[in-house]
Chain A
Amino acid sequence: MKWAALTLACALLSGCATVTVSRDGATMVNIENSGWYLLNFIPLASGNPARPNSCTTRIFSKTVTLENNVKMLDKVIRDEGAVAVRDINSFTVDEHVLLILLKRHAYHTSAQLLMKEDMEDTKAECISPILPIEF
């Protein structure tokens, strides 16, 4: 019973890094990384940006950053074979438990990936073309 309670507590307090791609009409990517902080600043557990969509958590390290979300976005861009990207935007959401005792901090990033076939009716100034891999 104690082990079950401990496991449940760990599961509730663990962070999560997720990458979701929707290909219905347009290729949209949504990235979320979340983690728990003690007294607003001390990181307890957060998602593992190196292995999104898996049940892995980083303990006592601050991985909920814009930099990590952008790294995950870079990987999705390469994996999906996109030629350009547009409408990149990010925001954070904080939830507090018992004032500042516990905080759940989540960073969300989304973007539209453009494939070769999407490029015909897209204005060049609205997009960021993907650089060759050596860059």
Chain B
Amino acid sequence: MNCRKTILAIATALSATICLTGCFTLDTADIHTTGDEHICVGNSGWYLFHFIPLACGNASEDPLMPWVFFRNDVTMDKIQHRFMDYANFYGKKPRDMSYYTQESVLFEIPGTDFPIPLPYLLTYKEIQLSGVMK
């Protein structure tokens, strides 16, 4: 009975992690000294065996939900599309564009500090694009 409860707790914690840590963000801030605008677009998500998307932030322009399941939105194309959409909407010219990507292929066993000793079973990916709008 205890074992079943533990498995249920781990499954709940895993689901919450997957849902809450996959997130699309679009941050902007005005640089007052130059009159430019700084923008940082990012998305992250979870994958099974490194390739099968489980859950990630929703990069659609009109999202119904903040997350999407079994669809890969953590791609350079989708991030850059949202970045350029923003630039075109405000009629600005992008500059200083740079990508930052991060991957974690060893998932930690919930409640411990030890990773599952099988790389690529459950992986986390993140892509961020930063730039300046002139």
Contact at A90–B130, with CB atoms within 8 Å?
yes
* Count of chain A residues near B, Cβ 8 A: 34
Q: Please indicate the chain B residues that have their CB under 8 angstroms from the CB of A88 in the complex.
A: 31, 36, 38, 96, 130, 132
The residue in chain B whose Cβ has the minimal distance to the Cβ of A86 is B96
Q: Please indicate the chain A residues that have their CB under 8 angstroms from the CB of B27 in the complex.
A: 65-67, 90
* Count of chain B residues near A, Cβ 8 A: 32
Contact at B32–A135, with CB atoms within 8 Å?
yes
- State the majority secondary structure of interface residues on B: strand
> CA of A67 to CA of B32 in the docked complex: distance in angstroms?
11
Give chain A interface residues in 68-112, CB to chain B under 8 Å. Answer: 69-71, 73-74, 77-78, 84-94, 96, 98-100, 109
Other-chain contact of B33, A86, A93, A131 (Cβ < 8 Å): A131
Q: Is B7 an interface residue (CB 8 A)?
A: no
Given contacts A65-B27, A91-B40, A100-B20, contact A128 B34 (CB under 8 A): yes
Give chain B interface residues in 32-85, CB to chain A under 8 Å. Answer: 32-36, 38, 40, 42
The residue in chain B whose Cβ has the minimal distance to the Cβ of A69 is B29
Give chain A interface residues in 100-135, CB to chain B under 8 Å. Answer: 100, 109, 126, 128-131, 135
Residues of A near any B CB (own CB < 8 A): 39-40, 65-67, 69-71, 73-74, 77-78, 84-94, 96, 98-100, 109, 126, 128-131, 135
